[in-house]
Structure 1
């Protein structure tokens, strides 16, 4: 799994790609999230459209990220999950916990309204 990020207008924009399997794969991502929360950024849009596969450990990474942002008084929105990831979110009922949108623009609107 690889990820990149940028900050624009007070929102951390993350792009995640590859396979999010195993806790180790997500440790760098969680550390990156922690660093930004520590610097005062509490809103994030995570583009997971290029995430091919995710297992239970990957789900744990997403939940950890969401929890960290919410505990800081912020929010994290998921952008355009692939069909396989979307099915996994539905099966696990996590689609009711995460805000899921189709575009970065929609994510920004959601986050600005929080």
Structure 2
């Protein structure tokens, strides 16, 4: 799994994930989010269009990252979830908590 982080607006960081979001990658995602929060981005977008697989460890990492962002006074949103990610979110009923936005730019448009 690879991650890249980009600041798209003051306080808004986009973390683009590509590959398999599983147990091996979950810790790395949490580290990426923590780094973005430590660098002053309180609003995080995790872009998931290139995630080919996500298991319960990946789902748990997203929820943990959401909790970290909220504890830091911000929020975490997901953008462009792949079909596989959407299926996992729906099966776990977490699609109500981690609502998918069409693009990273749309995530904090409100």
Cα RMSD, aligned residues only: 1.3
Mapped pair 1:41 → 2:41? yes
Number of the residue aligned with 1:11 = 12
Unaligned runs of 5+ in 2: none
- Equivalent pairs, count: 109
Structure 1: gaps spanning 5 or more residues: none
Which residues in structure 2 correspond to 1:21-40 (within 5 Å)? Answer: 21-22=22-23, 24-40=24-40
Deviations 1:71-94 (A, max 9, x none): 111111111111121011011000
Tell me, in whole angstroms, the C-alpha distance in 1 between the residues paired with 2:31 and 2:62: 13
Runs of 4 or more off by more than 3 Å in structure 1? none
TM-score, normalising length from structure 2? 0.91
TM superposition shift of 1:40 = 2.4
Q: Tell me, yes or no, if the aligned pair for 1:77 and 1:99 is still in contact at 8 Å.
A: yes
